[in-house]
Amino acid sequence: MDNKPHYKMSSIVFIIFFSISLLVFVPNYTTSFDLPRSGRVIAVFDGDTIMLKGGIKIRYLGIDAPEIAHDDKPADCYGREAKWYNHKLVYGKIVTLKYDREKKDRHGRLLAYVYTPDGKCVNAELIKHGYAFVFRKPEGFKKLVHFLRLQDLAMQKRRGMWGFCKTKRERFYIGNKNSFVFHRPSCPYGKRTSIRNRIIFRTREEAFREGFHPCRRCKP
């Protein structure tokens, strides 16, 4: 009996199953041919988010800038300055985009390293000059160590927000090793951090050096 038709059918079934598996099980399934590699910046929303021609929103990967005023909430210290510097670096220019493991955030914005025409990494420039701090998740990203070094130098030199913004000091800070957020000891979110995930920092600088970022509620 000729079994060739059965082999052909088995191969087709395998290919279909494999294709479906890629869509279902691979996180951030956006593939390389879906991702823009460059574009002209037509809007700067704040210190870490821009829009390219065509309506594509880009969130700078690995960093977080102070918030600007929105939804009746006042701006964070150095929020307007961060937006201004970001605007100065990229507005109207054709930027190049490079990606890491995580391609999109929970708001559907693309996550990328953004490069100016002269080759500068905007993410790194914002950290280097004190307009943003490192923003990490448990999975990390390729430039994490490099960004932490730039941030540490900016803190030492008191560049940007590190020398300008004043904050009330605490005796210690509560960090969450799961979210990489740190809190004031009185913050309800900090208090709810499990013992397993809790880490204590003596200073806010120590927390930043370990790659933790401040809670948006208690603003340590």
What local confidence, expressed as pLDDT, does residue 24 receive?
Answer: 40
Residue 134: inside a domain: yes
Catalytic residue among 40, 80, 109, 209, which?
Answer: 109
Tell me the mean pLDDT in the region 154-165.
Answer: 98
Question: Do 175 and 124 belong together in one domain?
Answer: no
Would you say 185 and 215 are in contact if contact means Cβ atoms under 8 Å apart?
A: no
More confident position, 78 or 19: 78
With tokens 């929020």, the residue in question is: 79
Catalytic residue among 59, 136, 184, 204, which?
Answer: 59
Q: Is 59 an annotated catalytic residue?
A: yes
What local confidence, expressed as pLDDT, does residue 179 receive?
Answer: 96
Domain harbouring 56, CATH code: 2.40.50.90
Question: Do 204 and 140 belong together in one domain?
Answer: no
Residue 4: pLDDT over 60: no
Residue 9: inside a domain: no
Q: Is 217 an annotated catalytic residue?
A: no
Q: Is 196 an annotated catalytic residue?
A: no
Question: Do 177 and 208 belong together in one domain?
Answer: yes
Domain span at residue 172 reads 167-214
Residue 11: inside a domain: no
> 44 falls in which pLDDT band (50, 70, 90)?
very high
Domain count for the chain, please give it: 2
Question: Do 144 and 210 belong together in one domain?
Answer: no
Tell me the mean pLDDT in the region 54-64.
Answer: 98
What local confidence, expressed as pLDDT, does residue 95 receive?
Answer: 98
Query: For residues 21-30, b (16+ Cβ closer than 10 Å) or e, as one string?
Result: eeeeeeeeee
> 3 falls in which pLDDT band (50, 70, 90)?
low
Would you say 111 and 59 are in contact if contact means Cβ atoms under 8 Å apart?
A: yes
